[in-house]
Each structure stands twice: as structure tokens, then as C-alpha cells.
Amino acid sequence: MKIISWNINGLKAMIKKGIIDIIKNLNSDIYMFQEIKSNEIPISFQFLGYNIYSFPAEERGYSGVMTLTKEKPKNIIYGIGDKKFDSEGRVLTIETEKLFLINVYFPNSGQDTLKRLDYKLEFNKKFEEFVLSLNKPSIICGDFNVAHKEIDIYAPDRFRRYAGFTDEERAWFDHFLSLGFVDTFRYKKGDIIKYSWFSYRGKARENNMGWRIDYCLVSKNIKDKVEDADILYDISGSDHLPVMIEIKI
């Protein structure tokens, strides 16, 4: 099974940038898209041969997640059971016979002012409770909006206390992994430096000045089934790059 997760930063914009051809060429079993910013499923998507599930935000043009899967799921779960967060369309879960596949878009903690840090930390806790309530192994992919370690950000000293690199956000990521989850990129690639998000400013992508804030995590009891994990540097269109895992399930 090949899974690709990608913050596309606007579905309508990505249609114009060729996402249909990207989906066809990558030929993944499952796509998890974040920040779709749309409450519509484009007609062109409906002829791709996937079952399509969308969980948009109530606010138009904001947030939202979408999952495409070749295999019809056993069940779909929209949100985490808390209106405060589900109104922003941040979590979409599909259940198969063997596991749960969770598409998640974590809140940004608020740029320089950290005005949404408390909101994000509360979301983190509610998300954690939701995941731990599931009774099968999980694959969790999405934009976590946090660079976990110093190796995951190009200038760690410069960005301390910035949104996405606060002690609180990084400590929660440590805590969440300790509950029985594995960062598949680090598991398969070790200390290789690759980033998944680049600012549009200052030729950040050309100069490899990025952050790794997009992840695919798996339950520890299925980590040995992961055959590959990577960040797809040759795909463009968004300020994020797709992250990919191949897992034998």
C-alpha cells in the first residue's frame, strides 16, 4: 500500500497547477490532502477511480481535509467529536478491516504572536484522546505544523519560540510518539536532512531553507511493515511537499 499525504494549500489552485496529472502519475493507493480550502469535490476528481471523502471547514476558503482511497472503507469518521475543532475540518479517519488511516491538519499556533498556541495544545490533547480510543493500529499522516527536532528545521537557533518550533509543541510531539507511534521518515531514513515546507519568500526552496512539519506516523506494532518513507522533492505546486510511505498491510 502506498500512501501520500500533502498539504496542497488550496484545491482549486492545485487543479490549475496540474494535481490531476500528479495523482495519476504517482498512482498511490491513498491520498490524504490537507488545507483544501474548499467545500466542493471537483468534477475532474470524480473520474479518477477513487472513493473520495471530504471534511471541509465551516468557514469558506479555510482549512479542510480530503482523502482519496482506491479501496472502499469499512467506516468513515469525520472529526474528533469536539465542535470547537471539528468546525475547522481538521481530522478525517477511514477505517479498514485491519487499521485506521487518519488524515490530520493541525492548527498553526499563530505566527510570531503565538496567539493560537493554547488552542493548538488543546487540539493536540483532544486528538491524542481520539487516537487512543481507536481499537486497531493507526497510520496518521498530515501537516502537524511542528518541526520536531533541530534537524527538522534549517535554522533552529533563529526560530526558537516561533510558531511550529516552540518547546510546548515539540514536547507534545515527543509525548505523542512515546504513546506508541513511530515517525516513519526518521525510522527509514535516519538523520537524512529533508524538509517538507518552504516559505514562498527569499527563494527558500531553491536554497533548501525549510522545515519538516509534515509526517506519516504509524503505530509501533506495525512499524516493521513500513517498506519506505520519503519526502517527494520533485513534486511542486504547493509551499509543502508530499510525504509518502509504502507499507505492507
Residues with catalytic roles: 105, 143, 240
Residue 184, helix vs strand vs coil: helix
Which residues touch 153 (CB under 8 Å, ≥6 apart)?
A: 147, 159, 165, 195, 210, 211, 212
Flag whether 145 is marked binding: yes
Question: Where is 51: in which H helix or E strand?
Answer: strand 51-55
Do residues 93 and 30 touch, judged by C-beta distance below 8 A? no
Flag whether 7 is marked binding: yes
Q: To 10 degrees, what angle do helices 167-178 and 117-132 make?
A: 0
CA distance 22 to 45: 12
Which residues touch 47 (CB under 8 Å, ≥6 apart)?
A: none
Flag whether 143 is marked binding: yes
Which residues touch 246 (CB under 8 Å, ≥6 apart)?
A: 1, 2, 3, 226, 227, 228, 229
Burial of 166 (0-12, 13-18, 19+ CB in 10 A): buried
Q: Annotated binding residues for Mg(2+), as ranges?
A: 7, 35, 143, 145, 239-240
